[in-house]
Amino acid sequence: MIPTLETRRADSMSVVEGLPVLSEPIDISASEETQALRQQLLQAQRLSSVGEIASSVAHEFNNILTTILNYARLGMRGDVAPAQKQAFEKILKGSNRAAAIVGGMLGFARNNANRRETTDMVELIEEVLMLTEKEMSKHRVSVEKIYHSRPSIPVVAGQIEQILINLVLNARQAMPTGGRLKIELRENREADMVEIRVADTGVGIPTEQLRMIFEPFYTTKVPDENGHGGNGLGLSVCRQIIEQHQGRIRVESVPGKGSAFTVKLPMHLTDRNDG
């Protein structure tokens, strides 16, 4: 059952809470929708193939990193000159970071089952930020993170990573000339929910579009220079995942000042969400 949609305006800020349902039909013909579905199916098939190849390459790369790490540690043994030791320490630091990134990629690829496991949410968010750090740095987006607590809750980790990566990359795309991304984690014990808030200082979302952003194929942006974004499926998939977790999503936006998405997930399994 989809939670009740709530909307309101306050100080020119548009707010939508819940899992939105479409109040007005999107102007899209059946043939256009069929064509869009075909294109998305082809894209999904391509991504599946790329994902399998990337997973295989990541495994091989991980093996290479293990060799580099082991020889670097071996080189630091015994009486080593300071300059040589410093060089080996840099190799170790860089290789460990590369190994962590590869591990995150492999973990994300493995977490495509529907089984929930108790997951450290701080660790999950850190992994998301590690995987998106290069993208943020490239586009001059500073990242601030605030952890009010360190909850561990039952989720499908790969699916929640998918949501957060989507929200983080959407925020980056909303700040084409740079800006600030703020991720905040807190427990709402009164509601028995964990809340993850992703806020940006980007262009914001017009009020008239806010109610439709979670609908399939509805998008407020165009693909970037790499062809990423603009297919109108990212937030729709996020909505489906959150619904499966019996959670909620809230969006606040002020055009010209930025947007904030808050994902709310149950802290405990119940008869309704233990599947």
Does 106 map to a domain?
A: no
**123-157 burial, b if ≥16 CB within 10 A, otherwise e?**
ebbbbbbebbeeebeeeebebeeeeeeebebbbbb
3-state secondary structure of 148: coil
**Domain extent for 25:** 6-44+117-266
Does 84 map to a domain?
A: no
Going edge to edge, which strands form the sheet with 6-10? 6-10, 13-17, 248-254, 258-266, 193-200, 179-188, 141-147
Amino acid at 2: I
CATH number at residue 186: 3.30.565.10
The string of pLDDT tens digits covering residues 184-241 is 999 999 999 999 999 999 999 888 887 777 776 555 555 555 545 544 456 877 888 8
Question: The whole model's pTM is what?
Answer: 0.64
Does 67 map to a domain?
A: no
Does 242 map to a domain?
A: yes
| Total tally of structural domains belonging to the chain | 1
- The pairs formed by 39-43 with CB atoms below 8 angstroms and a separation of 24 or more are 40/231, 40/233, 43/231
Does 52 map to a domain?
A: no
For residues 230 and 242, the answer to whether their CB atoms sit within 8 Å is: no
Does 110 map to a domain?
A: no
The string of pLDDT tens digits covering residues 68-121 is 888 888 888 888 888 888 888 888 888 877 777 677 666 656 555 568 889 999
